[in-house]
Structure formats: structure tokens, C-alpha cells
Structure 1
Amino acid sequence: RKTGSVNIAGFSFPIEDEQTVEKLEATVRSNWLVRQAYVNLLRSHMTRSSEAYRIYDIVSSKIFTYRALQNYYLTLDRQPYFKQDNRKAMVNYDIFQGCMLEAWSD
């Protein structure tokens, strides 16, 4: 285990590769306890007073590495040029959408 890393249900954070991102997504969707632990991890890195624009910076440094996220993109209806055919839309992932909304909505 790396120094400074956090371990939840066999996942070491920050997550370093796409394969582990996909595995985390599948596990979070199928295991409520892992989902809650992941939501709590997200919550621990974002305070109520944190600026919303900092969410991606926090997530991309403490939860996932740049390498892990390089094949994913944020999707904004007003800015479809962010879409790239060889990348996956974060909006389709619970770990990037539902869990984050749950973590930071309290």
C-alpha cells in the first residue's frame, strides 16, 4: 500500500488506472456498503464551504489520478465539443454523478 493512500474494500485511492475505475463503478452499483464507504471518502475531501469549481481538482488528485481519468470526459450540453469518440462520458457513471451528488448535497 502506498504512503498516504486510503483503502476501501480492496480499492486503493487514489485510483491509478481505467480498469480499476471500471471495477469501482461495477462494485459501487452492486454493493451498497462499498457505495456508502466511497460516498464517505468523497465527503471527507470536500467541505460545505469548498467552491464547486474545485470538485474536479479534488477528485482528480485525491480520488483518481490523471492517468485513471484520461479516457473519460465531462459532458455539458452547451459544450458538446468536449465529447471525444474514444472517451467515456462521466455522466454515465454513478461514481462520477450519483455518488458525488450524494456526498456533497448534505
Structure 2
Amino acid sequence: MPIYNKLVRDRIPEIIANTGKLYTSRILDESEYITEVNKKMGEELTEYLETTTAEDAIEELADILELIHAAAAHHGSTFEELNKVRVEKAKKRGGFNERIFLVEVEDD
């Protein structure tokens, strides 16, 4: 039986059970949970960086977005509040749409 030891989406146990397979799982405490969310976010980011098609990239970005929702909730926020912060930062400092690559800045 393969051992995974990783955070999975909420319906994965149901999906496994529907195949007739047995599995073992447990509920993480808060400390373990945010650690695993962070590990999973790194895993999904790596998978995104390794994609070769736009379709695969969108799939991985959706996984990252789901984990961002989870992390925001863990920190007592909502995705809407997180997006509000994003919008405010974009108003003050801009986004990344213009592809500006800063090379150097003169010292005083």
C-alpha cells in the first residue's frame, strides 16, 4: 500500500472509498495544517513551474489558488479581504502587467 503522508483535497477520501479501496487518514491540528498547506503550496508551485502547456498551467494555478484560500482562512481572513489588499497594493505600487525588470538603482 503506497504511503502518501500529505494534505489532500476534502473529497479525496470519498473518491478513494468510491473505488472500493481502503485508506487511512487523520485530521491535522492547526499547527500541522498550516505547515502542510505551506508544503503543498510549494509542491503546486513546483508543478506549475514545470508545466509545458497553458492548460496544465491553469490547472496548477487553480490548485495554488485553492491553497491561498485555505491559508487566508487559517490567518483569519477571507479571499475577498485578501483580494482587497491585493487591489490596494496594485493601486499604490502597480501590478506586474508591464513586465518591468529592474536592473539597478543608483546609490546616494
Normalised to the residue count of structure 2, the TM-score between the two structures is 0.28
More helix by share: 2
Q: What TM-score, normalized to structure 1?
A: 0.28
Which protein, 1 or 2, shows the higher relative CO under an 8 Å CA cutoff with sep ≥ 6? 1
Q: Name whichever structure is richer in strand by fraction.
A: 1
Larger Rg: 2
